[in-house]
Structure 1
Amino acid sequence: MLRAGMIRRVAGGIYTYMPLGLRAVRKIEAIVREEMNRAGALELLMPAVQPAELWQESQRWTQYGPELLRLKDRHQRDFVIGPTHEEVVTDIARKEIKSYRQMPVTFYQIQTKFRDEIRPRFGVMRGREFIMKDAYSFDPDKAGLERSYQQMYEAYGRIFKRLGLVFRAVAADNGSIGGSGSHEFHVIADTGEDAIAYCPASDYAANVEAADALPLIEQRSEPQAALTKVATPDAEKCEKVAALLGVSLEHTVKSIVLAIDANVEVDASPLTPHGSGGSTPQIWLLLLRGDHTLNEVKLGKLPGATGYRLASEAEIIECFGARPGYLGPIGTPKPVKVFADRTVAKMSDFIVGANEAGFHLTGVNWGRDLPEPVVADLRNVVAGDPSPDGQGALAICRGIEVGHVFQLGTRYSQALGATYLDESGKAQPMVMGCYGIGISRILGAAIEQNFDARGIIWPEAMAPFEVVICPIGYERSEMVRMAAQGVYAKLLELGIDVILDDRGERPGVMFADWELIGVPHRLVISERGLKESQFEYQGRRDAQPTLVAVTAAPELISAKIRAAFEY
């Protein structure tokens, strides 16, 4: 985007949108606005600067973290630069909505947001200042919320389809925003930050953070091996243990030790070691198969997990009598609470640390050698796992999140006192939904999905221009100039978004510039071609140009553009 002249960096994560980039932004906004209006949402515009009092009412003033940019005005009153608008819109609703007869209603806006990212990166996809469409629904009950949610879900599908993007809607975790259910909309791209689990044989799709990891063993086998202590010098990882003992990694179990501190709020990175907060923490031991990885989102949802962190080495030695690398659930000097992933809970004759440096235990079995654990879904799914819908095996792809819809429920309406009078005259909290689309993020995501060595390949719906006319010798040839201006006027009459390159550049420079910019259709006009009554046409994805009659060119391009917009 920088090379193509679409954006210019002002500061880290903050950009100016130049004319070409802004044209693409406006086209995205137009489609989003049309579909929001079609879904019955009402557009408004809320302030970027929000008073701290609203955030204090919702308790997010202290919960949100350093991404929330706080400031004081000249009167030393606290404000924030809004990263989102749940508080403001709920304040509007509590002032404007008094009766169940005024619902359902959905408000939306397209507005600039600011989140003080610690490491802004990936250009407009992880910037600090960004353009977002956010919408908020208000209903009298959960059934109404589900209807509003479905309307927004369907509207999002239409938006991304109209934009010409390959995308998936996936079940997701609600994260810090709260609520009871949500879906993310991901543009599929190899460079995506998020891993998506999906079933090729069905419609199932979920962010790996939220995907249900079923046990990989149907039924636990009876013990076949005796519990044996074996020497495993310098084997602190499951991979080294498996190689040393000549077994599959799937027979090993890894140990992760957590400390649960009392009265400690979870920070943005709960697995970062820190102090115990002045009280004796409870120690948890998590057991996962050696080839699996811990899912921190699922861990955070375990009852009592608030305030969890990685245990310090001193805490580990005190509770297990051994340093990390040789830990296990058998024979711990102090009591620990054991959680086993669903697959580990079905394993038999497995291998764990012996709580002694340089040793592991083989032939370990539940019930015989140690008590039954607390069973929980603790791991990330991997390709080949059974799909939770029972329709086949999961595959993994990468995606860039560009939209997210939440069922918020009453979290904000209760906190801010947004109530209405029901049919019996009784005050009830409004039931809310929240629906976001990253307008500026879509630009980056579309490019990550549509590019080649020469530059961007815009889908027609969001391209700065649909067609570029490249006249060769524009300044010196009256014939070329008249033909270029004539076809330019004709394309405009047909409602086509066209630009005429009248810079007088050499053909190679013109072609390279427009391939970088990514305009979908190019029409080249030259004296040689005109003498044969022909233009040279090339689609941005075409390997070679084709010759087209001068009189047929406008309709040819119009037909190609119409075909691209059929959905």
Structure 2
Amino acid sequence: MRLSRYFLPVTKETPADAQIVSHKLMLRAGLVRQTAAGIYAWLPLGLRVLKKIEQIVREEQDKAGAVELLMPTIQSADLWRQSGRYDAYGPEMLRLVDRHEREMLYGPTNEEMITTIFRDATKSYRDLPRTLYHIQWKFRDEVRPRFGVMRGREFLMKDAYSFDLDEEGLKQSYEAMFVAYLRTFARLGLQAVPVRAPTGPIGGDLSHEFHILAETGESQLFYDAAIDDVTREELLAADASTIARLTRLYAMEAEEHEKVAECPVPAERLRSRRGIEVGHIFAFGTKYSASMGFSIQTADGGQVHPQMGSYGIGVSRLMGAIIEASHDDNGIVWPDSVAPFQVGLINMRADDAACSAAADNIYKQLETAGVETLYDDRDERGGAKFATMDVIGLPWQLVIGPKGLEKGVVELKRRASGEREELSLETALARLTAR
């Protein structure tokens, strides 16, 4: 993509109403723009990142055996009355009445709807187990939206729902999602800590939150230092033994940790850091299947209410969490897996015919090789081009200038480390295309 034809409204100034790093950088880098309190338009660069995060989440759900569908954003209030949550949910739910005086709501979650869909199509134990998921926009009317996409009112969420015949089956579904979450966050370049958590309005008695360790996190966490020794490779190959290991490593939020003396972790291994919640999983048994009249026939001819669980990941929130965990003084440092483009190609002299011809040729070669490239072909100062590339955080910068071309070299910069090398064009292209 040529930057001269792209829509990338980068700004130099830090917006006055942005309080945390991710909010500041998402605005400065032209990823989003606020359209109302807690509601954002996703601009082209931000949307590319969002789609890549979404795809990694989707791939790991598919590997875990979940089946994708898509449920609507608007739901009937009658569904929520069946479960008893319509009046109990509180003012975060956006309620509305349609032209026929039917009470509706903008869904904050989908337990009731998925239970109804699956109930109406399922009669026998042979239809279980199943896990269904979708990636859909949600709305929760936060009383004080803040921190950009980290606590907005409208957000993109992956929510999955499992249906099992018995508690043992529910445990297996829960563990499969636990593994999928560990793998998802590792692929996103994040260190995630599973934290035992209250179930809140969702219900049930088994729940874990997944927190990204970052100094700007909202929650204070206590955990076993051994968590830091779990490698990315272990997480990518996560299985039931990884779950057993991680859940033995005590982790909980500060408000549940008043009696530190009762903590099972030895004092010398106890660590405390701040965390950003990016995922939450629940096993809530028959809370919804029983209240919504969902029962199935067992192998011996009896009837049981299916055991259910729900599993959420804040897809749009993850973008903010990644930036909180991966940035420097100059801007964002995207992990390769979610970067909007892999290479920022900088033509230092757009007014120089030879330089432009060389940069154009390199751009065509990168595009032909399938390397996602943002080509800064604008007639701007070199300093402005470097500043733009640094703030948007692409993994690689390839710099083409007249002096380098005279020597037969180009400059290749790795954004994460700041390391710069002068290489022959062939070597630089080989390195970038090999990745």
Deviations 1:324-375 (A, max 9, x none): xxxxxxxxxxxxxxxxxxxxxxxxxxxxxxxxxxxxxxxxxxxxxxxxxxxx
The amino acid that maps onto 1:138 is: F
What is the root-mean-square deviation in Å for CA atoms of aligned residues? 1.6
Which position in structure 2 is the counterpart of 1:132? Answer: 157
2:393 to 518, 521, 526: 518
**SS of residue in 2 equivalent to 1:84:** coil
Distance in 2 (alpha carbons) for counterparts of 1:196 and 1:24: 28
1:162-201 to 2 correspondences below 5 Å: 162-201=187-226
How far off is 1:38 after superposition?
1.2
Q: 2:289 matched to 1:413?
A: yes
Larger mean Cα displacement after TM superposition, 520-529 or 479-488? 479-488
Please tell me whether the aligned partners of residues 112 and 129 of structure 1 are also in contact (alpha carbons under 8 angstroms): yes
1:207 to 239, 252, 272: 252
How far off is 1:479 after superposition?
2.2
Distance in 2 (alpha carbons) for counterparts of 1:86 and 1:397: 32
How far off is 1:391 after superposition?
8.8
How far off is 1:57 after superposition?
0.8
How far off is 1:381 after superposition?
5.1
Deviations 1:60-112 (A, max 9, x none): 11111100111111111111100000000001111011111011111100100
1:158 to 183, 186, 208: 183
How far off is 1:519 after superposition?
0.9
Which position in structure 2 is the counterpart of 1:281? Answer: none
Which position in structure 2 is the counterpart of 1:70? Answer: 95
How far off is 1:495 after superposition?
3.0
Please tell me whether the aligned partners of residues 295 and 303 of structure 2 are also in contact (alpha carbons under 8 angstroms): yes
Q: 2:258 matched to 1:380?
A: yes
Which position in structure 1 is the counterpart of 2:347? Answer: 471
Structure with greater helix percent: 2
Distance in 1 (alpha carbons) for counterparts of 2:146 and 2:74: 24
Which position in structure 1 is the counterpart of 2:233? Answer: none
Please tell me whether the aligned partners of residues 194 and 207 of structure 1 are also in contact (alpha carbons under 8 angstroms): no
**SS of residue in 2 equivalent to 1:388:** coil
1:31-430 to 2 correspondences below 5 Å: 31-201=56-226, 203=246, 204-208=249-253, 295=255, 380=258, 385=261, 387-388=263-264, 393-430=269-306
How far off is 1:390 after superposition?
5.9
How far off is 1:52 after superposition?
0.5
How far off is 1:389 after superposition?
5.4
Distance in 1 (alpha carbons) for counterparts of 2:88 and 2:268: 40
How far off is 1:472 after superposition?
1.0
Distance in 1 (alpha carbons) for counterparts of 2:302 and 2:349: 77
Which position in structure 1 is the counterpart of 2:428? Answer: 553
Which position in structure 2 is the counterpart of 1:534? Answer: 409
Please tell me whether the aligned partners of residues 213 and 274 of structure 2 are also in contact (alpha carbons under 8 angstroms): yes
Please tell me whether the aligned partners of residues 7 and 18 of structure 1 are also in contact (alpha carbons under 8 angstroms): yes
TM-score normalised by L of structure 2: 0.86
How far off is 1:471 after superposition?
0.7
How many pairs were matched up?
390
Q: 2:30 matched to 1:5?
A: yes
Distance in 2 (alpha carbons) for counterparts of 1:517 and 1:386: 46
Larger mean Cα displacement after TM superposition, 488-497 or 509-518? 488-497
The amino acid that maps onto 1:511 is: F
Distance in 2 (alpha carbons) for counterparts of 1:205 and 1:442: 24
Please tell me whether the aligned partners of residues 492 and 498 of structure 1 are also in contact (alpha carbons under 8 angstroms): yes
Deviations 1:233-256 (A, max 9, x none): xxxxxxxxxxxxxxxxxxxxxxxx
Distance in 2 (alpha carbons) for counterparts of 1:205 and 1:466: 38
Distance in 2 (alpha carbons) for counterparts of 1:167 and 1:485: 41
Please tell me whether the aligned partners of residues 173 and 182 of structure 1 are also in contact (alpha carbons under 8 angstroms): yes
For structure 1, the residue ranges without an aligned partner over 5 or more in a row are 210-294, 299-378, 563-567
TM-score normalised by L of structure 1: 0.67
Distance in 2 (alpha carbons) for counterparts of 1:547 and 1:492: 22
Which position in structure 2 is the counterpart of 1:488? Answer: 363
Which position in structure 2 is the counterpart of 1:264? Answer: none
Please tell me whether the aligned partners of residues 168 and 205 of structure 1 are also in contact (alpha carbons under 8 angstroms): no
Are residues 52 and 426 of structure 1, via their aligned partners in 2, closer, same or farther at CA, if it must alter by over 3 Å? same
Task: Mark the structure with the bigger radius of gyration.
Answer: 1
The amino acid that maps onto 1:449 is: A
Larger mean Cα displacement after TM superposition, 52-61 or 537-546? 537-546
Which position in structure 2 is the counterpart of 1:229? Answer: none
Deviations 1:259-304 (A, max 9, x none): xxxxxxxxxxxxxxxxxxxxxxxxxxxxxxxxxxxx4xx6xxxxxx
**SS of residue in 2 equivalent to 1:447:** helix
The amino acid that maps onto 1:39 is: A
Distance in 2 (alpha carbons) for counterparts of 1:390 and 1:92: 48
Please tell me whether the aligned partners of residues 345 and 398 of structure 2 are also in contact (alpha carbons under 8 angstroms): yes
Please tell me whether the aligned partners of residues 149 and 317 of structure 2 are also in contact (alpha carbons under 8 angstroms): yes
Please tell me whether the aligned partners of residues 197 and 381 of structure 1 are also in contact (alpha carbons under 8 angstroms): no
**SS of residue in 2 equivalent to 1:496:** coil
Please tell me whether the aligned partners of residues 199 and 392 of structure 1 are also in contact (alpha carbons under 8 angstroms): no
The amino acid that maps onto 1:153 is: F
Are residues 454 and 409 of structure 1, via their aligned partners in 2, closer, same or farther at CA, if it must alter by over 3 Å? same
Please tell me whether the aligned partners of residues 68 and 116 of structure 1 are also in contact (alpha carbons under 8 angstroms): yes
**SS of residue in 2 equivalent to 1:156:** helix
**SS of residue in 1 equivalent to 2:49:** helix
The amino acid that maps onto 1:170 is: V
Which position in structure 2 is the counterpart of 1:275? Answer: none
